[in-house]
Amino acid sequence: MDYYVAIASIIGIHALLGLSVYVVAISGQMSFGQQGFFAIGAYLAGMSTAMWGLGLVPALVLGALVAGAMGFVVGFPALRVRGLYLAIATFGFGEIVRLAFLNVRYTENIGGRVVGPNGAEGFRHVRYVYDRGFTGLHYLAVILVVLVVVVILFFLLERSKVGAKLRAVEEDETAAAMIGINVTRVKVVAFAAAAAVAGLGGGLFIHYSTYIDHDMVALPLAIASVTYPLLGGLGSFVGTLLGAIVLVGLTEGLRGLQGMREFVYGGLIILMMIFRPRGIVDEALVLRVKSWLSPRAPREPVQAP
């Protein structure tokens, strides 16, 4: 039972990371640096509960807000480039964050334990959740509640004017600008929102694992976060959830391959780009589902003259 609870917890956390990439993707960009915002949210939320005495909810909110603010700051220079250059720039940001935490030492001795970011040794003993009697199942419920709230926000986003602007910018930036959409503002806001979601996932992760280090936010996490929406589909946020479920399950199934799993991820991306470039849940599938779900009005018989 504990094994399945652990898998479900990882799926919930990684779904948030995938949704952060999805937000950037539907604005016409692709980020390989969401693991950097994930790390910021994780370290800050961990310090908030383990060292500063905050509760879990304020810690998660603080980590998400700071990650979102960093996304807003990084968004302006990063989004001046496109395509491969943007991918390289965002991955470079993720590496800067990773190396920064590799060298940061900010620890306290609490209850005979060294708590706080401690360079290459990582950030240990973030036991706020388990010291208060939470079981794995209880914390899974917390993760699912957060995920449901975020999914509801995404549901509302896709049916709002902001969502329409994001799709318009993705489809054609020039045409979007010609009809009065501020393309730069839309992209930066999307980047900041995506960073906040990634930071929220990071905060949940460190309280689940009680530990994080620089290796956990390296290239494999960047590849996985991008694979979720690309495999699941960019037609709806539902595709990202599907991608996280499939790929985390596949990761467990391929655990014996160890480092070869990255090649499997890369192969899946290549195959999806060839055969279904918009993923499993693409726009065509979404339109078909909507047509099935919406009843058609019966045609009135034509009266003969």
Domain-embedded: residue 129: yes
Domain-embedded: residue 36: yes
Q: What is the pLDDT of residue 158?
A: 87
Total tally of structural domains belonging to the chain: 1
Domain-embedded: residue 231: no
State the pTM of this model. Answer: 0.89
For residues 261 and 302, the answer to whether their CB atoms sit within 8 Å is no
Domain-embedded: residue 83: yes
Supply the range of the domain harboring residue 187: 2-217
Q: Supply the DSSP symbol for 218.
A: S
Residues in CB range of 104: below 8 A, 6 or more apart: 117, 119
Domain-embedded: residue 296: no
pLDDT digits (tens, 9 = 90+) for 191-229: 999 999 999 999 999 999 999 998 899 888 998 899 899
Amino acid at site 211: Y
For residues 281 and 236, the answer to whether their CB atoms sit within 8 Å is yes
Domain-embedded: residue 212: yes
Q: Can you say whether the dihedral through the CA atoms of 212, 218, 220, 226 is positive or negative?
A: positive
Per the structure block, which two tokens stand in for 231? 């495999």
Amino acid at site 294: S
Domain-embedded: residue 38: yes
Domain-embedded: residue 8: yes
Tell me how far the alpha carbon of residue 137 is from its chain's centroid: 22
Per the structure block, which two tokens stand in for 13? 């956390």
For residues 191 and 74, the answer to whether their CB atoms sit within 8 Å is yes
Q: What is the pLDDT of residue 256?
A: 67
d(CA 43, CA 138): 22
Classified as helix, coil or strand, 305 is coil
Which regions in the chain score pLDDT beneath 50?
A: 297
pLDDT digits (tens, 9 = 90+) for 4-27: 899 999 999 999 999 999 999 988
Q: What is the pLDDT of residue 304?
A: 53
